[in-house]
């Protein structure tokens, strides 16, 4: 377990702020590796891409890729 910085005051992270409680664990994705003793910068706007889909756990709605063919 390592420390990281998640700014909950900007962007899409603001949407999840009301649903968080102290000590709660959440899924985050690293956007900038740790450097010079500072923790990594992370985002709660997670996207995990696979061959046929992209998982967006905090996204609203459903999105279909234009690359999918019959």
Q: What is the pLDDT of residues 9-30, one digit of tens each?
A: 877 777 778 888 888 888 888 9
Q: Which domain does 12 fall in, by range? A: 4-55
Q: Is residue 62 part of a domain?
A: no
Q: Is residue 31 part of a domain?
A: yes
Give the separation between CA 13 and CA 29, rounded to whole angstroms.
12
Structural domain tally of the chain?
A: 1
Using DSSP, state whether 30 is helix, strand or coil: strand
Q: Is residue 70 part of a domain?
A: no
Say what the pLDDT of residue 1 is: 61
By C-alpha distance, which of 42, 41, 44 is closest to 12?
44
Q: Is residue 30 part of a domain?
A: yes
The answer, yes or no, to whether residue 49 has pLDDT greater than 80, is yes
Q: Is residue 61 part of a domain?
A: no
What is the pLDDT of the chain when averaged over all its residues? 81
Say what the pLDDT of residue 11 is: 74
Q: Is residue 67 part of a domain?
A: no
The answer, yes or no, to whether residue 63 has pLDDT greater than 80, is no
Using DSSP, state whether 18 is helix, strand or coil: helix
Using DSSP, state whether 28 is helix, strand or coil: coil
């Amino acid at each position: 377990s390592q420390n990281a910085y998640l700014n909950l005051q900007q962007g899409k992270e603001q949407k999840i702020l009301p649903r968080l409680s102290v000590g709660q664990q959440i899924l985050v994705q690293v956007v900038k590796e740790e450097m010079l003793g500072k923790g990594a910068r992370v985002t709660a706007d997670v996207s995990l891409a696979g061959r046929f889909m992209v998982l967006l756990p905090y996204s609203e709605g459903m999105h279909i890729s234009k690359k999918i063919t019959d």
